[in-house]
Structure 1
Amino acid sequence: MKQLTDLREILHYVPRFRDRVFVIAIDGSIVASDNFTNLMRDIAILRSLSIEVVLVHGAAWQVTQLAERLSVTPSSVDGIGITDSATLEVSQLAAMRVTQEILEGLAQMDLRGTASNAVVAHPAGILRGVDQQWTGKVERIDTGMLTLMLKHDIVPVLTPLGCDGEGRTYRLNSDTVAVEVAKALNAVKLIFLSSEPGVRRNGTLIRQMNTSEAELLLKSERSGLNVDIASKLEQAIRAAKLGVQRIHIIDGQSQEGLLAEVFSNEGVGTLIHTNEYQSIRQATKRDLLALYGLLKQGMETDELLHRSRAEIERQIQDFFVFETDHHIVACGALHPYPQEQKAELACLYVSERTENQGMGVKLMQYAENRARILGAKTLFCLSTQAINYFVSKGGFTLGTPDDLPPARRAVYDRSGRKSQVLLKSL
């Protein structure tokens, strides 16, 4: 991968981020890693580019280590679940140590930082009949305090702890705190630094998802996500719904990982966004009339296989549409074949009046992301008139009917259209 310290590439993004807030959530294990100094250097680069930075750290790794040394069995280490008094005490000690390490790291980079009690919390209370004891819930963020710090070039450092109006301290989940801070400060980015490279499905890293795709992945019983990534993905979805447009999950142990994610189109981890392709969404039954009218144009020119309105309605959950000013101007469908780990991109069509605006490419990218989330290893499509388009714009290669799933091959043979089979490895 090219070196992202190249100023020409970095400066391409600077106008978009100047004077905007990045909230960076750092797992405790990353603070303890060999890459911590590089992360502090990356944060110094962000600050030199007039990007405001707020750090929220976890301490689960340190709580585990400290509890073992003190012969304490923690009731929870990540602020999720019950926090008994012994665990709270260990968590306070561990959080103080992590905070001090971060402040020392900032000082080494000639940055000013300070710990803050800007997180106001209250008891989580009794959940499903179980008293959560010293586990808390974020009540509000003191944005005035944080804004004042940022105004004076101070990097706020927030712990996974919060205090109530009586001075009582509660254990919090650091990822949850980061989401609340990002919302309160209207952050342009929320970045989770974990020990994982991002969100993976069947061993394959998912580069980007919108919120609906992320929710689909979480609901999938076969997603195979580990507990930490599942929690971060859940918080990313919540952040997006609260108005944070870009949430990143990246490997905090990767050199230049932070800069590579922020200052490149490709990135190195997983991006969850409010809607990268702002006009693309899953179709609903309310779209049936407009969707059928659009597809009918393609069927009349023999670009698309004939489908009845009733057939489209039966498969409406597979369709997605591209809207402009609340009008459907393009569409596509993704038919999964889970047993073969394949998916078909079908019914890709752009209305004549909106051709040559890149909508077809965006629809293909949307379908690819959705296919990966559904566990497909191969995306295929059939075409009679747009073969070159799929090859040149979509990266497909020529295949044969033998590459089709058996059920789809049977339909192919019956149609008699002799469409070209096109394949793309995911």
Structure 2
Amino acid sequence: MEIYDSAEEEDEHEQFVRWFREAWPYLWAHRGCTFVIIISGEVESNPYYLNLLLKDIAFLHHLGITFVLIPATNIEIHKPLADRGKKTRDNSRLHDVDASAASGNFVAAKIRGVVTGVDYGETGEVKKVDVRRIRERLDCGDCIVLLHNIGYSSSGEALNYNTYEVGTTFSLAIEADKLISIMDGPILDDKCLVQFLTVEEAEAEADMGRVERVHLLDGIKGGVLLLELFKRDEVGTMVVSDVYQGTRMATESDFSRVRELIQASGELVRRSDEELLEMILLDCFIVVERESQIVACAALVSFSEEKCGEVASFVVSSDCRR
């Protein structure tokens, strides 16, 4: 039997075990996935926040997640391009956190030119993504791919991309599992975190609405990437094109999870497995799903003759309670 020195130490152990159990399904779900991460210029230019972020990325990389990083060096680039044609420098901090980085001319550019009377000068658009070469580097599993928002046209001109356009186009081209934007603050509405955005709302924030799963994270918050990926209740803003969370009638295949939720509550009337299954088959149970995981359930048993009903169950997973 393990003996703790204090109640506080016991709480810390319990919290770690609870967190690890919650994170475990995501460890397997994310393994082998490809994430494209845009790092805002404000975060990139701050060594403290950048180092924390890169350490977490290196840790996840060693867990089997492949990454494409796109530093948004717009703070310097949005100034007049006096040094036209000068190549941007790769960030060597990736090597400091024990991760190999591969960079290259993976994206072909073209001049945006004049659009509706506006001359975009040296601003470029993505013309083509070299998916084969980028996949070769990702599939080898030993390096993180690094992109920049400076590209070159067929005539050798250095052009400044819109970083979010590069991230979106690149994510779609390589069929990335997630596009993550590390911003210099959270998205708030009346000082409250906005947890979900529609595609239209996301496009108003940045041109990122075409990717199936987009995460907008506060890069000033330490460990934000780990918290977002491995906790059921995210700490950032999620943009999804499909149903991220919703309710539906329970089916027979939900029996085990519904029983688990009810047993964990410890406060409901005891029912046998047969009684519980019968209630599910009679459409008494409604479940709440989040990312295909049942996080809550409720049951209403109707007594038509008496014109009343019984709330037979109302359970929310402890991981989701606020």
Q: Given the two structures, how large is their TM-score scaled by the length of structure 1?
A: 0.53
- Is 2:158 aligned against 1:169? yes
What is aligned with 1:87? 80
1-structure distance, mates of 2:69, 2:17: 22
SS at match of 1:238: coil
What is aligned with 2:130? 142
1-structure distance, mates of 2:18, 2:85: 37
**What number of residue pairs does the alignment pair up?**
260
2-structure distance, mates of 1:361, 1:121: 39
Query: Deviation at 1:129?
Result: 1.4
SS at match of 2:285: coil
2-structure distance, mates of 1:118, 1:266: 35
Q: Equivalent residues in 2 for 1:17-416 (5 A)?
A: 17-33=30-46, 34-63=48-77, 77=78, 87-89=80-82, 96-97=88-89, 100=90, 102=91, 104-152=92-140, 153-197=142-186, 199-209=187-197, 213-215=198-200, 217=201, 230-232=204-206, 235-239=207-211, 244=212, 246-277=213-244, 354-358=283-287, 392=314
CA deviations 1:175-226 (Å, max 9, x no partner) are 11111111111111111000012x22222211123xxx342x47xxxxxxxx
* CA spacing shift, 1:19–1:132, aligned 2, 3 Å: same
What is aligned with 2:5? none
RMSD of aligned residue pairs (Cα, Å): 3.7
Equivalent AA in structure 2 for residue 248 of structure 1? H
Structure with higher helix content? 1
Q: Return the structure number with greater relative CO, CA threshold 8 A, min gap 6.
A: 2
Equivalent AA in structure 1 for residue 155 of structure 2? E
Q: Given the two structures, how large is their TM-score scaled by the length of structure 2?
A: 0.69
1-structure distance, mates of 2:84, 2:185: 23
Query: Deviation at 1:135?
Result: 0.8
SS at match of 2:146: strand
* CA spacing shift, 1:5–1:135, aligned 2, 3 Å: farther
**8 Å contact 1:22–1:54 — kept in the other structure?**
yes
Q: Equivalent residues in 2 for 1:7-22 (5 A)?
A: 7-22=20-35
Query: Deviation at 1:150?
Result: 1.3
2-structure distance, mates of 1:279, 1:175: 29
**8 Å contact 1:88–1:171 — kept in the other structure?**
no
- Over the matched positions of the two proteins, sequence identity in percent amounts to 25
Residue segments in structure 2 that go unaligned for 5+ positions in a row: 1-11, 251-280, 292-306, 317-321
CA deviations 1:241-283 (Å, max 9, x no partner) are xxx3x21000112111111011111111101112234888xxx
Query: Deviation at 1:53?
Result: 0.5
1-structure distance, mates of 2:310, 2:134: 55
Query: Deviation at 1:151?
Result: 2.5
**8 Å contact 2:245–2:288 — kept in the other structure?**
no
Query: Deviation at 1:45?
Result: 1.2
